[in-house]
Every structure is written in structure tokens, then in C-alpha cells.
Structure 1
């Protein structure tokens, strides 16, 4: 009998995917999967429809089209003040997940330890296991989920080679502060760690303070690889178009890995992606205003149902404490919400290695307004 690879041992369909299937079976509203169900920019769709047949439809070079990398460099500079050379410090990837896979493949070896801050995006864990890397959790405490120095230092050991941070965070919506990033910088420099920063939600934040790119703080720039994506900012996750930025030496290695894994990102979509990245600031302000409205409406619905939603500073998720339901786990809470209200959410356990301290669920508000309104109605009447 053909043997299954050991690296798949213990891996199975993600909790997010499994809940989507349950929602389909029961006819429930799906607030589980974070798949950007709001319309992409109308101008982008119009230009794509008009020009698609004229775009290049062969491979691009492994690092991506120059026009795309230049657009990434320009946008990163405008929004974060971080300067990256498009020819040597930017790489087009098949989504941010492709950027992460190539980074782990290029820069870490089997058995290396990687710090994960709990709660973390569940695919980080899958990606580490596929590379035979060791997840090393650091538990962050709600409701703010801030990084503090003592638990981080306690998690470092002789095998630790890297850490993954995410800001704005999925699932908590927390935005890392300069103080937190200074802690990350000091610990990373002391132990010579690679820092992988997932900033795919950089354009979705609430409040006046702009996005703070990790690589602009302390001494992080020289050891930080930044993952980005067009999927969240432009509601085009199905395009699978992302990028990675960082020091030339690291990006050169990641380019080799990305080439071996997938050859290149979709060339015609890179051309259209470059146009999306050039949209003006009015687009981003409208994007944030839209998500802020959706966030408030759904949070009010959970609160009206007697639950305790957090106040995310960014991303498009609520992380809801369901203790008032009388449950002890997020799994129980998500099942009750699904069965009683026909609203699908993700159990908080999907974002932790060990059981979380509270029965959390995550709910996505990147859905149409009528879906949010119906979800609120069902929550209030069903919980």
C-alpha cells in the first residue's frame, strides 16, 4: 500500500473549512471563513474586463513582473514609510500563504523552533508542520492580547530560530504598538531570530493612527520578512496574489524557494494588481469606513444576544467571549450558535495550540450588509 508522508500526520481539514461545509448543509449564514465577500473596486473590475485579453498570459519571471514589484514598493513607502528596492527586495507570490511557505522553506530547517503568539491564524500551524518545524507558543491575554517581554523570553530555547507576528491580528484584531514591537526587536536581536510579519490586514484598521509596519521599528528591518496580500485590501482573495518584502539576501533565497514551489504568481493578475495598488487614499478611507460600520453592527448584535464581543483595532473579525452562554469551550459555543441561530462561526480553539482560557468564537464581518443584518436578527432571537 502506498504510504502517506509523515509530515501529514495529525493534519486534517481546517476547522474553518469544516464549518463552511456545516453551514452549507444546514443553510446557515457563514461568518466563519474570512473570504472577503464584499465587492472589489468597480474600476478594477471594469479595467480587467476591458483589458484582460491584451495582458500577458505566459509566465512571469519567478520574482514577478517589474510593474507589480514597483507598485508594491510605492504603496509600502506611501503607507508605512518603509523603503524596499523593487528589483531586489520585493517578490510576487501566490497569496500571502505562498509567501509564508516560500519563506519557511528558504530560511528555516526541519526541527527549528518558531514562536507563535496565541491566538494565531490557524494556517501558520499547518505551514510549520508541513516543514517539520516546531511551534513554540506564547500565550497572549485578552482582551487586549498585547505582547509582553517576560512570557516571550521564557519561550525562547536553543532551537528557536524565528517568530511570526501578525498586525492587525487575525483573529483578535489587535494592532501591535511601537512598545510591543520594540520588545520583539530586542528579543530577536539578542537571540538572532528571523521575524516573519504578516501584515495582510494593514489597510483595514479603525482609528486615526496609520498602520505601523514592524520593519520600521527598532532594528527589525535587517531581520524581518514582511508578508502582504491584495486579497484583503481589494476583496480579491481568489486572485491569490501576494508579495513578500525584506532584506535583499533573504528575498534572494525566498525567490529560489518560490520558484521551486510554484514557478511564479499569475502574470495577468500581477498587471491588474499593480493598478489596484495605485488607487488613491480616498479608496482606503472608504474601505475602512465600510468595515467600521460592519464591525459596529455585528458587535451590537452579539452584545444584544448577551455575549461579549471585543473591540478589534483592525482586520475584519470579532473575537467573542461566550462565557455568558454557560459553556466552557468555543467548540460548544460555535455549535450552539450554529444549531440555535443558524450562524456559523469558528471556535477559538482553532487559534491556539492548547485550550484557550475562555470560550471564544471568531466571526467575520467581511460579508454583505444584509447578511450581517440577518445574522444579528438570528443571534438576538436564537441565543
Structure 2
């Protein structure tokens, strides 16, 4: 009988997908997975009528020129980041495909990669699949700030890179210029690659625009920026993302992306280019929509006696369930599922070591009706 590959031994289904499956079995409300239940913009829905006219052959490994041009234009307008679309952008199958191509292209098995806890759990999965070594940097609740002392303490003789996620999944934290200057100084001193996950760049709360790490200090020459269209346009099923960075690094990322998957879906790149050129009004409305959902869901958990954090971006809350008398986020998620038929993700999914508090993560990319039902269920009794 064929054996399981060494790299997959010990791998398990993610806590997020596992809870999604349980929600389906129990007919529970799924706040676990960021399924993005907000409708996509009408421009994309109406554009589907032109699908048959689109190019249905392979695109170049780096993606269609029209899509890469749109990416470069969007980055310049929204982040002040200048990239050459012909040499510094590669289209990928979602941000996850971009991360895998980047890690494959630029790191070797056994290399250490710094991850800031709490981290997006799929970052950890990608590292494990490629036999890379995750090195945690604990960001203390409730502020989750980067400190120079904490970052330096996590570096080993095997450290070759770090992953930054801003706005952060799961905490919603947006790293400041001062924090990113710490990242820049440490990365330069130790010659580290910086991988910046900015999938939630368009979803933030407050007046300050998104701050792209590659625009801070000396990070531009060593940073690969990864993003996708999933969150900004409510199309996670399209699996359309991109990586951008210095041309000498991107030429190898392109080779890795080609070797791994060939190319992203050609017709979706054409429609994605339309989305990326949408005006500022769309993004203002998007942020206002999510801000309302954030406030409504947070108020529901607060009224139930629990303690949600105040995210600065993304579309998740980290809820401290200490008032439930539970010992862990795993226990809290089970109690919530049993008592309210609400599915959440245990905080342990976002840490290598146990978190300080019994957290669960909940998603508010839902319809207002679903959020109202969640609030009602919470009011009927959690404690």
C-alpha cells in the first residue's frame, strides 16, 4: 500500500474548515469561516454576461497584462506602492497560491520563518507543507503590538524570513509605521525576506488609509506583497490573487507559480481587472458596510457578557470568553455551538502556543439578517 508523504504526516484539517463542516451537520450559523456573504459588486455580476466572449485559453504564467496593469494602478492609487506590471507582478490562484509560490521560490526546507501570533492558520499550513520552520513572535493581547524586544528574541540562526499580515487575520490589528520601522530595521540587520499579506487592505475602520509595509523604511527592496480580490469584492470562490515585489525576486516567483499551477483562470483575470479599477466611492461604501456589521455583532457579544476586541480592519472579532468559565477557546467554541448553534473558531487555531485567554474568532461578513439572528441567539443565553 502506498505510504503518506512525509510532509503531510501530522497534518490535519484546519479548525476553520472542521467547524464549517460541523455547522453544516447541525444546521448551525457559521461564524467560523470567512465565506464572505456580502454580495459582490453589480459590475462583476452583470459582467458575467460577457463570460462567453472572454479568452478561455491559458494566460501567461505571470497573468494577463490587463490584470497586472490594473494591479499596479490599484497599488499606486491605494497604497502609494509603485510596481512595474511587466516584471514585478505575478497573478496567482488566490493569495494562498501566491504565498505558496513565494515560499517555494525563495526559501529552502528547514529555513525559519517568523510568524506573529495570532497568525492566519493557513500561513502555518503552508510552512508545514513546504518543510519550513515556523518561529512564533508572541504579540500580547489586547493590543497585539510588535515590539523590537519580542521580535529580536524570536530570531534564530535558521531565520530567513517573516510573514506580516496587516490588517491582521484574526485580530484586525493594523500595524503602525513605528512598528513597521522595527520590522525594517530587524529585517535589514538579519537580511530577512518579508512577506506581507494584505488581503484585507481595503477593509479598515477609521480615517487613516492602508499602510503597505513595502512603503516603509527599507522594506521595499526585500518585501513581497501578497493580496487577492476575494475580500474586497466578495468573490473568494474566484481564487484570484497576486504577488508583487522586486523584479529579481519576482522572476523566480513566476517560475514557481508556473510550476505549481500553470496559471490563474484567464477569463476571471479579465473581469478582475474591471473590479480593480472601481472608484473610491465603492471602497468607502464597503468600509461603511463592514463597520456597521462589526458594531452590531460586537454589541451582541457584549450584551451576552462576553468581551469582543475592537478590530481596526478585516472582518473578524476575537471574543474573550473568560466570562463563560471555560479554560480554552476550544472549550468555548464547543459550548457556543451546543448552547446557541453558532459556530466559531477556537483561538488556539491562530497560535503555536496556547493564547493568554480563551478566545474564539467570529466573522461578520454576513447578511444583516444573519447577524440579527446571531444577536438573538446570544441574548437567549450563553453564560
**Mapped partners of 2:175, 2:234: distance in 1:** 23
Structure 1 match to 2:225: 226
What are the Cα deviations for residues 71-125 of structure 1, in whole angstroms up to 9, with x where unaligned? Answer: 0000000001110000000110000000000000000000000001000000011
What are the Cα deviations for residues 323-345 of structure 1, in whole angstroms up to 9, with x where unaligned? Answer: 11111100010111100011100
Structure 2 match to 1:25: 25
Structure 1 match to 2:284: 285
Structure 1 match to 2:349: 350
Structure 2 match to 1:8: 8
Alpha-carbon shift at residue 186 of structure 1 (Å): 0.3
Q: What is the RMSD of the two structures over their aligned residues, measured on CA atoms?
A: 0.5
**Mapped partners of 1:145, 1:10: distance in 2:** 29
1:187-198 matches, within 5 Å, as 187-198=186-197
Secondary structure of the residue that 2:230 maps to in structure 1?
Answer: coil
1:261-272 matches, within 5 Å, as 261-272=260-271
Secondary structure of the residue that 2:362 maps to in structure 1?
Answer: strand
**Mapped partners of 1:183, 1:315: distance in 2:** 23
TM-score after normalising by structure 2: 0.99
Moved more, 195-204 or 9-18: 9-18
**Mapped partners of 1:20, 1:239: distance in 2:** 19
TM-score after normalising by structure 1: 0.99
Structure 1 match to 2:42: 42
Alpha-carbon shift at residue 41 of structure 1 (Å): 0.1
Structure 1 match to 2:208: 209
1:1-383 matches, within 5 Å, as 1-49=1-49, 51-383=50-382
What are the Cα deviations for residues 276-316 of structure 1, in whole angstroms up to 9, with x where unaligned? Answer: 00000000000000000000000000000000000000000
Alpha-carbon shift at residue 382 of structure 1 (Å): 2.5
**Mapped partners of 2:48, 2:246: distance in 1:** 33
**Mapped partners of 1:310, 1:380: distance in 2:** 19
**Mapped partners of 1:199, 1:380: distance in 2:** 35
**Mapped partners of 2:222, 2:230: distance in 1:** 25
Alpha-carbon shift at residue 38 of structure 1 (Å): 0.9
Tell whether the 8 Å contact from 2:98 to 2:241 is kept in structure 1 after alignment: yes
Secondary structure of the residue that 2:380 maps to in structure 1?
Answer: helix
**Mapped partners of 1:268, 1:280: distance in 2:** 22
**Mapped partners of 2:348, 2:335: distance in 1:** 15
What are the Cα deviations for residues 24-71 of structure 1, in whole angstroms up to 9, with x where unaligned? Answer: 11111000001111100012110122x111100000000000000000
Tell whether the 8 Å contact from 2:33 to 2:363 is kept in structure 1 after alignment: yes
**Mapped partners of 1:251, 1:235: distance in 2:** 27
Secondary structure of the residue that 1:382 maps to in structure 2?
Answer: coil
> Gaps spanning 5+ residues in structure 1: where?
none
Alpha-carbon shift at residue 380 of structure 1 (Å): 1.4
